[in-house]
Chains A and B, each alone.
Chain A
Amino acid sequence: MTPRQQRMATVAGILVGVSAAAWLGFQAFKANVMLYYDPSDLAVKMPPPGERFRLGGMVEKGSVEKTSGTLDIQFLVTDFKHTVPVKYSGILPDLFREGQGVVAHGRMKSGTFVADEILAKHDEKYMPPQVAESLKKNPPPPNISAPYESGGT
């Protein structure tokens, strides 16, 4: 091959490599994007069955039910318009509390959200931005204490 052909071959090789990498990257990206839903979104439109997504809202006061002596827990996530029952088995983040914001990852299974991960954020003033956004859309009734302001010190 002449040097010119060699250069062209190199360029072609790089192009093929880059496109392949971009395609793989795009596929991986598409497969792992998780959309965010709040209870009102779910009331309007359910995600496709089996799809893993994020559910955010407040843990409804008085809704947490633990099975004594196990890691199983059930509670309701609410945005003060709609509620979704959530089931989880595992260790809860330190800051999981009734009446506070929560984001859970998981799937819907016959009307219940089965969470495989409850988000652990280590600041009690923290509110997942989407939860804050959801609550702005659906302000809580005044008798419920304001969750907590977002942001830090």
Chain B
Amino acid sequence: MIPELGQFALILALVLAGAQAFFGIFGAARNDLRWQAVVRPAVAGQFVLVSTAIGVMVHAFVTFDFSVLYVASNSNSALPTFYRVAALWGAHEGSLLLWAWILAAWTLAVAIASRNLPVSFASRVMGVLGFVSFGFLLFTVATSNPFERIFPVPADGRDLNPVLQDPALAIHPPMLYMGYVGFSVAFAFACAAMLEGKLDQVWARWTRPWTTMAWSFLSVGIALGSWWAYYELGWGGYWFWDPVENASFMPWLVGTALIHSLAATEKRGVFKSWTLLLAILAFSLSLLGTFLVRSGVLTSVHSFAADPTRGLFILGFLIIVIGGALALYAWRAPLLKSPAGFEGTAREAFLLYNNVFLVSAAAMVFVGTLAPLIADALKITPLSVGSPYFDKLFPMLMLPLGALVAIGIHAAWKRGQLGNHRRRILAGFGVAVVFGLTLVYAVYGRGKMLTPLGMVLGIWIIISSLFDPIDRLRRRLTLPRAVLGMTLAHIGLGVGIIAISTVESYSVERDAAIAPGETLALGRYAYRFDSIKPVEGPNYDGVRAEVTVLRDGEPVALLHPEQRNYWVQRSTLTEAGIASGWNMDLFVALSKEVGGGRWSVRAQLRPLIDWVWLSAAFMALGGVLAVSDRRYRVRAVAAEPAVAQGSAAEAT
């Protein structure tokens, strides 16, 4: 009985989403306040109903209600409680439910925060969000009912896919969805602005915190997924240019471009139509990501549905949303005029360069990710694009961008006045060259060609970002959180570039077959295979090795890689043994026995790899700090006073 309540709640939520879309968009168009008054209650009601549905699902999981097909497929009586809750988004139907719920939550937040916005604008925003929600709920109810029953009721469930039984992965999808769905708010703001036919700097100020927040969540989500792949898939490495990774990376790249172009739109009123286009693009790529990952087009651990009707539905939805938004854009964007006039070295110009590189990178990833699918759809010969394509092109786009960041941070609005900061730029560069080259040639030794470049750029970006905040502190000026957040995020970028340059160049990796008692040499380190013992967990058994890592003959770490057999799905899983240090990860993965008492193992040294994920954390934290800045909490609808011309002190 209870599961049917969940389904009923979803159907009611669908109706409310329809009402929200209709009365929001047409109420604003007719300027009918009574129609528009329906919107907020509909948002609240929808949130309550979708929450009910989620609650029902969690209840079914926690109480082992295997009469629900989804629970029976993704849970098991031996599954620990934490993963029984996380199993909610362990497969297709539940993921959609989570998507819908997060959208309802974002919309509720918009409904609460938009009470001081003009009524018609707020209604349009919520109307567009209602439309998106309607599409997703319809998809869920019509093709992917999570509450479907199974008869006869199985005695036990088929268990959650073992690779998903992991804390980082349990929170990876919610974070990712917070990002994806969060871009729907930016999208809705863009559509509302186009429907109003009016876009000013105040609009950009409203849109910025939402976009930055979504971007921060997406950063965390991607980093968690990458971290998980590193220690759980068992083969080391943090990024494989796998289609599902790319699917989440494209909206991130465009979202990064968007938050920068929004800054220019807010401060200087420029790039209006470009900003709109990016907002549409970021959400479209989020939808595309969902489509690619969930439709079964990409067959991998992420794709749950092989049902073509689902794929077609999402594709249709994608076409309506993107096509509709682009049509609206074609119709309305020409109305928007951006005051021209800034120099090639002004901050606006640097933000533009930033956008060119980020969008090119997104396009590059797009081509590499979708070419195999397109070749497949057109029945041309099956092909795949190897990771060297990405490995080669991505640095070519990111390294110039890094240099532009290091210089552009100093540029003032309207007129760059970089000449005033020549000393800062040169000093920063000089220090970076000295530090970077010392690090490369004296500490790590010669690596790949791009390594010194990346190292110098990363350090230069960090130094460049520090000038302005230090200057403010010295002159006893206030240090707004927006500036602090921006600084932190840029430091994160610098740290990321340094970390990636290092790990790409100085990782040491060896696969070998060794027996207990034997030692595997790896540079200054040696991995000693001490023993191997059987191990048993709540829903698996396996073997667990003990590996001592020696540095110059002295033991420095004890690792316990495992090879697990999960009972229910009868799948084998490699659990890597990792010792993380501030400057290096010692990694070992245990694979199968290869005869003669030997086991195949993969041993790795990964310098600075943890800083790759930490850099994402810096960026996300920077985003959150910036969003919490006072100026976004200003309630007044009053128009913005003119921005002081060419003031470098203005925060971005």
In contact, A126 and B299 (Cβ under 8 angstroms): yes
Flag whether B628 is at the interface (Cβ < 8 A): no
> Given the complex, which residues of B lie within 8 Å of A124, measured CB to CB?
569-571
In contact, B573 and A94 (Cβ under 8 angstroms): yes
In contact, A121 and B301 (Cβ under 8 angstroms): yes
A35 and B367 CA atoms in complex are apart in Å by 16
Determine, out of B59-67, B375-383, B411-419, the stretch whose residues face the partner at the interface. Answer: B375-383
Which positions 346-378 of chain B face chain A at CB distance < 8 Å? 360, 364, 367-368, 371, 376
Which residue of the partner chain B has the closest CB to A17? B356
Flag whether B640 is at the interface (Cβ < 8 A): no
Which of B301, B303, B389, B397 has the most A CB atoms < 10 Å from its CB? B389
Pick the residue among A24, A29, A91, A150 that contacts B306 (CB under 8 A).
A150
Least Cβ distance of B604 to chain A in Å?
12
Which positions 157-184 of chain B face chain A at CB distance < 8 Å? 158, 161, 163
Least Cβ distance of A98 to chain B in Å?
13
A29 and B573 CA atoms in complex are apart in Å by 34
Category for how many chain A residues contact B: 35 or more
> Given the complex, which residues of A lie within 8 Å of B591, measured CB to CB?
91-92, 94
Which positions 23-62 of chain A face chain B at CB distance < 8 Å? 24-25, 28-29, 31-36, 52, 54
What are the interface flags for B65-102 relative to A under an 8 Å C-beta threshold, 1 for contact and 0 otherwise? Answer: 00000000110000000000000000110000000000
Flag whether B471 is at the interface (Cβ < 8 A): no
In contact, B389 and A32 (Cβ under 8 angstroms): yes
In contact, A33 and B383 (Cβ under 8 angstroms): yes
In contact, A29 and B299 (Cβ under 8 angstroms): no
> Given the complex, which residues of A lie within 8 Å of B163, measured CB to CB?
122
Flag whether A21 is at the interface (Cβ < 8 A): yes
In contact, B376 and A129 (Cβ under 8 angstroms): yes
> Given the complex, which residues of B lie within 8 Å of A68, measured CB to CB?
594-596, 598
Which residue of the partner chain A has the closest CB to B69? A153
Q: Known: A25-B393, A126-B299, A126-B300. Is A34-B573 also a contact (CB below 8 A)?
A: no
> Given the complex, which residues of B lie within 8 Å of A123, measured CB to CB?
161, 300-301
In contact, B511 and A91 (Cβ under 8 angstroms): yes
Least Cβ distance of A47 to chain B in Å?
11
In contact, A66 and B595 (Cβ under 8 angstroms): yes
Flag whether A74 is at the interface (Cβ < 8 A): no
Q: Known: A71-B511, A128-B299, A152-B306. Is A34-B383 also a contact (CB below 8 A)?
A: yes
A130 and B375 CA atoms in complex are apart in Å by 12
What are the interface flags for B611-645 relative to A under an 8 Å C-beta threshold, 1 for contact and 0 otherwise? Answer: 00000000000000000000000000000000000
> Given the complex, which residues of A lie within 8 Å of B543, measured CB to CB?
none
Flag whether B512 is at the interface (Cβ < 8 A): yes
Least Cβ distance of A94 to chain B in Å?
4
Least Cβ distance of B214 to chain A in Å?
28
Flag whether B539 is at the interface (Cβ < 8 A): no
Which residue of the partner chain A has the closest CB to B344? A10
A123 and B573 CA atoms in complex are apart in Å by 10
> Given the complex, which residues of B lie within 8 Å of A31, measured CB to CB?
388-389
> Given the complex, which residues of A lie within 8 Å of B235, measured CB to CB?
91, 120
> Given the complex, which residues of A lie within 8 Å of B344, measured CB to CB?
10
Which residue of the partner chain A has the closest CB to B304? A152
Least Cβ distance of B520 to chain A in Å?
12
What are the interface flags for B569-580 relative to A under an 8 Å C-beta threshold, 1 for contact and 0 otherwise? Answer: 111111000000
> Given the complex, which residues of A lie within 8 Å of B371, measured CB to CB?
29, 33
A66 and B596 CA atoms in complex are apart in Å by 11
In contact, B385 and A29 (Cβ under 8 angstroms): yes
A27 and B371 CA atoms in complex are apart in Å by 14
> Given the complex, which residues of B lie within 8 Å of A33, measured CB to CB?
371, 383-386, 389
> Given the complex, which residues of A lie within 8 Å of B597, measured CB to CB?
69
> Given the complex, which residues of A lie within 8 Å of B388, measured CB to CB?
28, 31-32
Flag whether A139 is at the interface (Cβ < 8 A): no
A133 and B368 CA atoms in complex are apart in Å by 22
Task: List the count of A-B residue pairs having beta carbons below 8 Å apart.
Answer: 132
Pick the residue among B158, B385, B574 that contacts A32 (CB under 8 A).
B385
Flag whether B332 is at the interface (Cβ < 8 A): no
Least Cβ distance of B310 to chain A in Å?
11
In contact, B574 and A150 (Cβ under 8 angstroms): no
Which positions 72-122 of chain A face chain B at CB distance < 8 Å? 90-92, 94-95, 105, 120-122
Pick the residue among B385, B594, B602 that contacts A69 (CB under 8 A).
B594
Flag whether A5 is at the interface (Cβ < 8 A): no
In contact, A71 and B594 (Cβ under 8 angstroms): yes
In contact, A25 and B572 (Cβ under 8 angstroms): no
In contact, B600 and A91 (Cβ under 8 angstroms): yes
Flag whether A143 is at the interface (Cβ < 8 A): no
A32 and B364 CA atoms in complex are apart in Å by 13
Flag whether A70 is at the interface (Cβ < 8 A): yes
Flag whether B592 is at the interface (Cβ < 8 A): yes
A32 and B602 CA atoms in complex are apart in Å by 26
In contact, B574 and A94 (Cβ under 8 angstroms): yes
A4 and B511 CA atoms in complex are apart in Å by 62
A114 and B389 CA atoms in complex are apart in Å by 22
Which residue of the partner chain A has the closest CB to B363? A25
In contact, B382 and A92 (Cβ under 8 angstroms): no
Q: Known: A91-B591, A120-B233. Is A24-B393 also a contact (CB below 8 A)?
A: yes
Which positions 548-597 of chain B face chain A at CB distance < 8 Å? 569-574, 589, 591-592, 594-597
> Given the complex, which residues of A lie within 8 Å of B513, measured CB to CB?
69-71
Least Cβ distance of A64 to chain B in Å?
12
Flag whether B426 is at the interface (Cβ < 8 A): no
> Given the complex, which residues of B lie within 8 Å of A29, measured CB to CB?
367-368, 371, 385, 389
Which positions 270-318 of chain B face chain A at CB distance < 8 Å? 296, 299-301, 303-307
Which residue of the partner chain A has the closest CB to B349? A10
> Given the complex, which residues of B lie within 8 Å of A94, measured CB to CB?
234, 571-574, 591
Flag whether B392 is at the interface (Cβ < 8 A): yes
Flag whether B396 is at the interface (Cβ < 8 A): yes
> Given the complex, which residues of A lie within 8 Å of B300, measured CB to CB?
121, 123, 126
In contact, A90 and B301 (Cβ under 8 angstroms): no
A44 and B73 CA atoms in complex are apart in Å by 43
In contact, A122 and B389 (Cβ under 8 angstroms): no
A127 and B307 CA atoms in complex are apart in Å by 15
Least Cβ distance of A34 to chain B in Å?
5
A22 and B368 CA atoms in complex are apart in Å by 13
| A interface residues with partner B (beta carbon < 8 Å) | 10, 21, 24-25, 28-29, 31-36, 52, 54, 66, 68-71, 90-92, 94-95, 105, 120-124, 126-130, 133, 150-153
Contacts A/B (CB < 8 Å), 5 sampled? A29-B368, A32-B392, A94-B591, A122-B161, A123-B301
| B interface residues with partner A (beta carbon < 8 Å) | 73-74, 91-92, 158, 161, 163, 233-235, 296, 299-301, 303-307, 344, 360, 364, 367-368, 371, 376, 381-389, 392-393, 396-397, 511-513, 515, 569-574, 589, 591-592, 594-598, 600-602
Pairs of residues from A and B, 10 with the lowest C-beta to C-beta distance, nearest first: A151-B306, A68-B595, A69-B596, A32-B389, A36-B382, A94-B572, A32-B386, A69-B598, A32-B388, A91-B591
**Contacts A31-B389, A122-B163 known; 6 new A-B pairs at CB < 8 A:** A32-B389, A36-B384, A120-B235, A121-B301, A122-B571, A128-B299
